[in-house]
C-alpha cells in the first residue's frame, strides 16, 4: 500500500448528483413527499436551524414579537429547543411532563393548547435520556386541530419507531443517522412541509447554516445539485453507506429489530428489579430504563458493575433512579440485551440487592421470541 495515501483525508469527491438521491431515500424512510434538506452538521444544528428559521413570522412588521410556541420538554433536547426559539425572538411556553423522566400525556398537551393560540408545537418523539416515547400520533392530531405547525425531533427515533411524517401531518421532522440508523453524526436532515415553508424567515444578507431559506434558495431551487458550502465527502459517503445498509435490511425490519430488543430488555429489567420505569406503550425502542429498587442509586449500581460495561444512568432530573440499557442501532440485538442484563444483575447483587439473573435472562429471551412471532 502506498504510504502516502490516506483513505480518510484523500476520499474521492461525493458526486453532485448523489445528494438528491440521499434526500429521496431519507424521504422514503420518513414516509413523506415534503422537501428533505441535508444539513452539514450534527442534528443539534439542524434543530437550531429550525428554531432560528421559524421563530419569527415572515410577514410580521419589524420590531414585533415572534411567534408563540408550545415547547414540550421531556429531556435536555426539548429544553435546548425552547432556548433556541426564545433567543430567536419567539414567545415560548414550556410544557413539562408532570414527573421528570416521564412522557407527556395527550391530555396535558390538550390542556396547554386550550390555554391560548399557538403558532408552533415542538416535541421529541422518543427520548434516549429516559427511554421514553411521547404519544406522537395523539399530539399530532391535537396540533392539527389547533392549526399550529408541528416540529418533531425524531433524531433518536428514526429507524427505531414507526414515523409516518405525511400520515401524521408532521410539518418539520429532524433526523440524524447516528442513532437507530447506525450511521455517523456529521450530517443531519429534516423534512419540511409547504405550510412550514410559508412561515420560514427569508434569507439574510450573509449565508447561514441556520437559515432554511438559504437551503431552499441555494439547493432546492437550483435543481438539487451541489450543496451550499463545501460538503465533506467523507460524511456523505458514510451517509450513502448507512442508507444502503438500511435499505438492505428494510426500514420495517430495522424498526422490528429495535422493538424485539426493547421488549426483551424491558422484560429482563423488570424481572431484575421488580419494577418498570414506564408502561410498555410509553417506552422507547432505543434505550430501556431499568427502574432501580428503593434505596439504590444509579451511581452505586454503576460503581459495582464489571469494568467495561455499557450501562449508564439517566440524563437529567430523576436520572439517578434508573439504569439505561442501550439497544440502539447495531446494539439492537438479543445477545447485546442479554449481556447487559447479566452485567446489570450482577451489579445489583454486588450493590446488595438480590437479583435473579437467570430468571431475568429467561424472561428476556421469552419476551423477544413472543414479540418475534406476534
Ligand atoms: C441524539 C439526539 C439529538 C442530536 O444530538 P447530537 O449531539 O447531534 O447527536 C437530538 N435529539 C434527540 C432526541 C437525540 O436523542
Shared domain for 245 and 313, answered yes or no, is no
Q: How far is CA 171 from the centre of its chain?
A: 16
Residue 172: exposure state from Cβ atoms within 10 A (0-12, 13-18, ≥19): buried
Cell output for 101? 423522566
Of 98, 144, 88, which Cα lies nearest the Cα of 118?
A: 144
Å from CA of 274 to ligand 1 middle: 30
- Per-residue model confidence as pLDDT tens digits over 268-317: 999 999 999 999 999 999 999 999 999 999 999 999 999 999 999 999 99
Is the CB of residue 156 below 6 angstroms from any atom belonging to ligand 1?
yes
Q: Is the CB of 236 under 6 A from ligand 1?
A: no
- Expressed as residue numbers, the domain containing 65 is 18-249
Q: 10 in a domain, yes or no?
A: no
For a ligand 1 pocket test, name from 39, 43, 157 the mutation site with the most ligand atoms within 8 angstroms of its C-beta. 43
Spatial neighbors of 276 by CB under 8 A, at least 6 apart, are 266, 269, 270, 283, 291
Helix (H, G, I), strand (E, B) or coil at 59: coil
200, 219, 249 - which closes a domain: 249
Contact 101, 149 (CB under 8 A): no
Residue 159 DSSP class: T
155 touches ligand 1 (CB under 6 Å)? yes
Residue 244 shares a structural domain with residue 263: no
Mean pLDDT on 367-371: 95
Claim to verify: residue 352 and residue 368 sit in the same structural domain = yes
The reply to whether 197 and 114 lie within a common domain is yes
The residue out of 249, 282, 309 marking a domain boundary is 249
Query: Mean pLDDT across the stretch 12-18?
Result: 94
Q: Which residues pair with 92 in a beta bridge?
A: 69
When pLDDT is averaged across residues 132-151 and rounded to a whole number, the result is: 98
Same domain for 50 and 197? Answer: yes
| Atom number of ligand 1 nearest to Cα 43 | 8
Mean pLDDT across the stretch 17-26? 97
Q: Decide if 12 is inside a domain.
A: no
- CA dihedral angle for residue 165, residue 168, residue 174, residue 179, rounded to 10 degrees: -80
Pocket of ligand 1 contains residue 329 by CB under 6 Å = no
Q: Based on the domain organization, do 283 and 150 belong to the same domain?
A: no
Nearest to 201 by CA among 89, 363, 47: 89
239 and 267 both lie in a single domain? no
Tell me which DSSP letter residue 283 carries: B
- Supply the Cα-derived Rg of the chain in whole angstroms: 22
Q: Is residue 2 part of a domain?
A: no
In the block, which residue shows the cell 427520548? 127
Q: Which band of pLDDT confidence, cut at 50, 70 and 90, is reported for residue 30?
A: very high
The closest-lying atom of ligand 1 relative to the alpha carbon of residue 178 is 9
Residue 124 belongs to a domain: yes
Asked whether residue 176 is assigned to any structural domain, the reply reads yes
Per the structure, how many domains does the chain have?
2
142 & 61 share domain: yes
DSSP state of 299: H
Measured in angstroms, how far is the CA atom of residue 346 from the centroid of ligand 1?
Answer: 31
Residues 263 and 229 in one domain: no
Residues 299 and 238 in one domain: no
Alpha helices in 31-60 (DSSP H): 43-54
pTM beyond 0.75: the answer is yes
pLDDT band of 253, cuts 50, 70, 90:
very high
pLDDT value, residue 229: 87
pLDDT tens-digit profile of 328-351? Answer: 999 999 999 999 999 999 999 999
In a domain, 13, yes or no: no
CA angle 325, 327, 331 (to 5 degrees): 125
Residue 42 in contact with ligand 1 by CB distance below 6 A: yes
Which letter, b or e, does each residue of 319-348 get, where b requires 16 or more Cβ atoms within 10 Å of its Cβ?
bbbbbbbbbbbebbbbebbbbbbbbbbbbb
Q: Among 249, 276, 306, give the residue marking a domain's end.
A: 249
pLDDT at 207: 93
Does 257 share its domain with 142? no
Regarding whether 238 and 298 lie in a shared domain, the answer is: no
11 within domain boundaries: no
At 326, which CATH number?
3.90.1150.10
Probe residue for ligand 1, chosen from 39, 40, 42, 44 as the CB with the greatest number of ligand atoms within 8 Å: 44
Would you state the pLDDT for residue 49?
Answer: 98
Q: Is residue 119 part of a domain?
A: yes
Amino acid at each position: 500500500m502506498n504510504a502516502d495515501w490516506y483513505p480518510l483525508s484523500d476520499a474521492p469527491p461525493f458526486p453532485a448528483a448523489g445528494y438528491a438521491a440521499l434526500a429521496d431515500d431519507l424521504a422514503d424512510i420518513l414516509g413523506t413527499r415534503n422537501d428533505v434538506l441535508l444539513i452539514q452538521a450534527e442534528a443539534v444544528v439542524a434543530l437550531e436551524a429550525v428554531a432560528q428559521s421559524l421563530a419569527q413570522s415572515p410577514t410580521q412588521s419589524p420590531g414585533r414579537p415572534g411567534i408563540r410556541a408550545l415547547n414540550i420538554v421531556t429531556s435536555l433536547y426539548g429544553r435546548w429547543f425552547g432556548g433556541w426559539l426564545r433567543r430567536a425572538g419567539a414567545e415560548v411556553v414550556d410544557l413539562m411532563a408532570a414527573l421528570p423522566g416521564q412522557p407527556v400525556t395527550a391530555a396535558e398537551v390538550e390542556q396547554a393548547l386550550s390555554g391560548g393560540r399557538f403558532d408552533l408545537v415542538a416535541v421529541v418523539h422518543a427520548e434516549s435520556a429516559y427511554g421514553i416515547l411521547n404519544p406522537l400520533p395523539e399530539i399530532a392530531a391535537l396540533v392539527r386541530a389547533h392549526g399550529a405547525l408541528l416540529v418533531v425531533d425524531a433524531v433518536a427515533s428514526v429507524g427505531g419507531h414507526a414515523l409516518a411524517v405525511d400520515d401524521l401531518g408532521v410539518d418539520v421532522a429532524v433526523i440524524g443517522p447516528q442513532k437507530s440508523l447506525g450511521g455517523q453524526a456529521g450530517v443531519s436532515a429534516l423534512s419540511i412541509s409547504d405550510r412550514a415553508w410559508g412561515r420560514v424567515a427569508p434569507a439574510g444578507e450573509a449565508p447561514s447554516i441556520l437559515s432554511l431559506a438559504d437551503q431552499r434558495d441555494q439547493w432546492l431551487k437550483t435543481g438539487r445539485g451541489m450543496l451550499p458550502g463545501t460538503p465533506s465527502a467523507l460524511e456523505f459517503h458514510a451517509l450513502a453507506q448507512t442508507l444502503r445498509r438500511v435499505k438492505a435490511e428494510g426500514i420495517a425490519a430495522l424498526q422490528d429489530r429495535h422493538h424485539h430488543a426493547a421488549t426483551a430488555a424491558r422484560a429482563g429489567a423488570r424481572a431484575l428489579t421488580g419494577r418498570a420505569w414506564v408502561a410498555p406503550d410509553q417506552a422507547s425502542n432505543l434505550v430501556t430504563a431499568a427502574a432501580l429498587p428503593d434505596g439504590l442509586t444509579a451511581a452505586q449500581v454503576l460503581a459495582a458493575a464489571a469494568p467495561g460495561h455499557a450501562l449508564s444512568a439517566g440524563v437529567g432530573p430523576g436520572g439517578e433512579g434508573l439504569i439505561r440499557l442501550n439497544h440502539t442501532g447495531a446494539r439492537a440485538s438479543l445477545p447485546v440485551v442479554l449481556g447487559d442484563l447479566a452485567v446489570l444483575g450482577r451489579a445489583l447483587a454486588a450493590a446488595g440487592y438480590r437479583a435473579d439473573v437467570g430468571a431475568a435472562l429467561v424472561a428476556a429471551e421469552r419476551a423477544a421470541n413472543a414479540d418475534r412471532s406476534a
